Structure 1
Amino acid sequence: MKMFVEPARIYLHRDAVDFRKSIDGLVALVEGELERDAYTGALFLFCNKAKDKLKLVYWDKTGFALWYKRLEKQKFKWPNKASLQEFELSPEQLDWLLSGYDVLGHEELQYKSMI
């Protein structure tokens, strides 16, 4: 995903969110439920109950930006039975998630020489 900003951190909110919420409602979740400062430049991801839509919200130094993505036939691989309320993702994991891959519960591949 090409972004206009380089987010300091990327957080995925585990629980489904009412998608009638817009920027103010999502920022309230960030600050109230996740107990995070929404003004840090971090990117926060939210998914709907059907897991076919997601919203991203972040502060870009002049205001909040909201991105929305809807899948036509598939569902996002979203954690729903994990014990953590939020997960921190790398930019690469965000790209994978937006491409439909399951990014949680998998370890990075480690390569070593056969010599």
Structure 2
Amino acid sequence: MMAIIRDTYEMDPYSNSLFLFCGKRCDRLKALHFEKDGFVLLYKRLDNGRFQWPRNASEVRNLTRQEYRWLCEGLSIDQPKAIKSVTNKQF
């Protein structure tokens, strides 16, 4: 997985990021994260349902921690009733 991140996507696997991969059936999720002393690999399989997963490059995006939690719970990462976080707005 580290080689895929580095060679295919030309990203730094040692960065402070969590890289997510989803199987073809969209019921399994792998996550790779580098800590100071090595890599952490997480694996989750849903018993029922599927993960919301991008179907093409235009749907790929960065996730907030909350969106990641929703994704891992098998929920949509676009929760219509969720309170949106405030970004730096100019007054």
Give TM-score, length-normalised by structure 1: 0.64
Is structure 2 residue 29 aligned with structure 1 residue 29? no
Match of 1:103 in 2: 77
Hey, which bits of structure 1, 4+ residues long, moved more than 6 A?
A: none
Match of 1:56 in 2: 31
For structure 1, the residue ranges without an aligned partner over 5 or more in a row are 1-25, 111-115
Report the identity percentage: 36
Of 48, 54, 61 in structure 2, the residue corresponding to residue 87 of structure 1 is: 61
Flag the structure with more relative contact order, 1 or 2, with Cα contacts below 8 A and sequence separation at least 6. 1
For structure 2, the residue ranges without an aligned partner over 5 or more in a row are 85-91
Distance 1:50 1:31, change over 3 A: same
Q: CA RMSD in A?
A: 2.2
Q: Tell me how far apart the structure 1 counterparts of residues 57 and 6 of structure 2 sit (CA, whole Å).
A: 21
Give TM-score, length-normalised by structure 2: 0.79
Q: What SS class does the counterpart of residue 83 from structure 1 fall into?
A: helix
